[in-house]
Amino acid sequence: MENRIEKIKKQLSSQSYKLTPQREATVRVLLEHEEDHLSAEDVYLLVKEKAPEIGLATVYRTLELLSELKVVDKINFGDGVSRYDLRKEGAEHFHHHLVCVECGSVKEIEEDLLGDVEAIVQTRWSFEVKDHRLTFHGVCEQCQTISSKVNS
């Protein structure tokens, strides 16, 4: 935890940005909720618990900044809200997501399943792939169980 903060601090200062208390509080919230997919509003409310004076605009500005530095990834699951996801240590690619159309839960897949596909795209369409976004829509294990009960 602390060393990840330290790392982010260095990343910031290398581009002459400061890790202000507000920014640190925001980063800490993100670290404590790595599994979730928080919206800016979510982050704001959580940060407010630690630093009540913080403003929503600052949270937006911080998330924007972290996004530029590729510390977080900004995603969009189609509801009109942006969500922010800590990039895992050393991950060079965005991870994949499984979105359940029944309960709305979101699961992350860390493995990169797209190696082959990227190679195909690269050669067949002469497209130099830098990153990707992959989301599956479907029914999660839990909801499959529930609906099979209902239907029996």
Binding-site ranges for its own copies (CB under 8 A): 74, 76, 78, 98, 101, 107, 109, 113-114, 116-118, 120-121, 125-141, 144
Considering only residues 2-21, where is the footprint of DNA by CB under 7 A?
17-18, 20-21
Residue type, 43: V
Residues touching DNA, count (CB under 7 A):
23
Instruction: Among 54, 71, 100, 140, indicate the residue that binds DNA (CB under 7 A).
Output: 54
Contact of residue 101 among DNA, its own copies, none (CB under 5-8 Å per partner type): its own copies
123-131 contact pairs (CB < 8 A, 24+): 131/93, 131/94
Which C-beta is closer to DNA: that of 82 or that of 100?
Answer: 82
The C-alpha angle 96, 92, 6, rounded to 5 degrees, equals 110
The C-alpha angle 18, 87, 94, rounded to 5 degrees, equals 135
**Distance of alpha carbon 67 from the chain centroid:** 10
Tell me the three state secondary structure of residue 106. strand
Instruction: Among 6, 7, 55, 113, indicate the residue that binds DNA (CB under 7 A).
Output: 55
> Is residue 27 near DNA by the rule CB under 7 A?
no
> Is residue 58 near DNA by the rule CB under 7 A?
yes
Q: Are 139 and 100 in contact (CB under 8 A)?
A: yes
Question: Contact residues for DNA (CB under 7 A)?
Answer: 17-18, 20-23, 39-41, 51, 53-58, 60-62, 64, 80-82
